Amino acid sequence: MNILVTGGAGYIGSHTVIELLKNGHIVTILDNFSNSSPAILDRIMFLTGVTPYLVRADVNDKETLDSIFSTDAFDAVMHFAGVKAVGESTINPLLYYSTNVCGSIALLQVMEKYKVNTFIFSSSATVYGSPSQFPIAETCATNPTNPYGRSKLSVEDLLGDIYAADNTWKIAILRYFNPVGAHESGLIGECPVGIPNNLMPYLSQVAAGIRPEVIVYGSDYPTPDGTGVRDYIHVSDLAIGHLAALEHISSSSHGVYLPMNLGTGRGYSVLEIIQAFEIASGRKIPYRYSNRRPGDIAQSYADVSRSNELLRWVARKDLMDMCSDVWRWQIRNPRGYAQ
């Protein structure tokens, strides 16, 4: 298939592009490189033997969108382009709504114009807010607690309205739990700008000696060891989940609107992650406890029965794979994609 991948140079987008190319799809990446590097293209080429087409543009740039849709007959769009830092979203909500919501609107308008109606949307388990039911199923109430989560849910709602108005659309909404890991080659991985907000990239920098210690946010949660529990999923499993979703919706004989969890279904605590990373890296990881981080919940793990059954997809990589791959990426690329 001929696929447009917005945000295809980013962390999850790039891993998905690799899987798409490996499976013979034709890929055009649209990216403004606001949180990624053009250097990734050479690595994708090295790993797959194919260079994807590249359009350097913002997803809000309707003129460019129009021009690429007028010259290229896309079969489907995978939409990763967006901003994703929860803390930043509380300080600059307009950036989150203009990029995530307006960007999606611009893209969907052009898709409608050119009659491309197969769409995979990059959403997040953050749309569930503080769920009261575990494991978290797609039928749980959505109630995000920050502007980032609300921007994702706004697009989900918009997609529901588009489908209600025209049920020939084929829409998969993929709600990621906690994506971690890196490509097994050590050539592609997560590249946070500045101090990482998320646990895995932070502790990988501690293991590498870039930061002195991990600060464990909260030791009094109602979890087995008192620290927060999350459903960490390897980014390559996540990428394969996108292909499975694409196959599922594009082969359907009718329209589809399908929100789906992508996770492993199993939770690990912060302490379990630190221990696993110590084994994977062979390094001691100093840590100390601090107060709970505002906005954090005690636990989050997915009910993956819908994606397992409908997509015939299951996350295969385990916690040791996730930690080893992050560590390989960290030691081989201490400065990320900058040489």
Tell me: does residue 198 bind ligand UD1 (CB under 6 A): yes
Among 199, 243, 246, 319, binds ligand UD1 (CB under 6 A): 199
Residue 149 burial (10 A CB sphere; 0-12, 13-18, 19+): buried
For 232, phi then psi, to 5°, come to: -85, 135
Which residue has its beta carbon closest to ligand UD1?
A: 228
Give the CA angle between residues 93, 119, 30 to the nearest 5°.
65
Catalytic residue among 96, 148, 232, 268: 148
**Of residues 102, 82, 198, 78, the one with CA closest to residue 148:** 82
Residue 282 burial (10 A CB sphere; 0-12, 13-18, 19+): exposed
Q: Decide if 148 is catalytic.
A: yes
Among 9, 29, 81, 86, binds ligand UD1 (CB under 6 A): 86
Tell me: does residue 64 bind ligand UD1 (CB under 6 A): no
Q: Which stretch binds ligand UD1 (CB under 6 A): 210-218, 248-256, 315-323, 324-332?
A: 210-218
Among 58, 61, 66, 296, binds ligand UD1 (CB under 6 A): 296
Amino acid letter, 100: N
Side-chain-side CA neighbours of residue 136 (13 Å): 29
Residues that bind ligand UD1 (rule: CB under 6 A) add up to a total of: 19
Footprint (CB under 6 A) of ligand UD1, residues 222-251: 228, 230
> What is the Cα–Cα distance from 43 to 174, expressed in whole angstroms?
26
Tell me: does residue 197 bind ligand UD1 (CB under 6 A): yes
Tell me: does residue 217 bind ligand UD1 (CB under 6 A): yes
Footprint (CB under 6 A) of ligand UD1, residues 260-279: 270
Site residues, ligand UD1 (CB under 6 A)? 86, 124, 126, 178-179, 197-199, 202, 214-217, 228, 230, 270, 293, 295-296
